[in-house]
Amino acid sequence: MEIVTAIIGGGALISAAVSIVTLLLNRKWQKEDRTASKLDEIASKIGTLETTLKTHIETDAETDAKQARRRIIVFSDECRRKVKHSEEHFDNVLDDITFYQQYCEDHPKFKNKKAEQSIAFVLEVSAECKRNNDYI
């Protein structure tokens, strides 16, 4: 009888130990699942931020190109009306032209034929001003 009691008690002890180990493993797996879920959530948010940032950067670059185009056209119109400009002003507009043309080259879907005549005229006037040192 003592042997049977010892076997039953030992079996119960082993059963309890297995239950405790199973419980601990389940807790660990649940914790790992929660951690993995949090990591997935963080990765998703980072992906969303990356997409938003790319869109924002593209929008800003297009806005910068449109502003450069406006400055080029206004400057060209001023030159056509014989308004004199400083060499620094010409340099700034030439930088705008370089930026605008590069943006147009890099973004073929951007409507870029809007300033061609103005750009050609500014380049012509700029060369003439350099030749004659005719700045204000």
pLDDT at 8: 58
pLDDT at 104: 92
For residue 24, the SS3 value is helix
pLDDT digits (tens, 9 = 90+) for 53-66: 788 888 888 999 99
**Which stretches in the chain have pLDDT values below 70?**
1-10
pLDDT at 37: 76
Q: Domain locations in the chain?
A: 52-132
Average pLDDT for the chain: 85
pLDDT at 48: 83
pTM (two decimals): 0.66
pLDDT digits (tens, 9 = 90+) for 105-122: 999 888 777 899 999 999
Cβ pair 122, 76 in contact under 8 A: yes
Distance, in Å, from the CA atom of 123 to the CA atom of 89, rounded to the nearest integer, reads 13
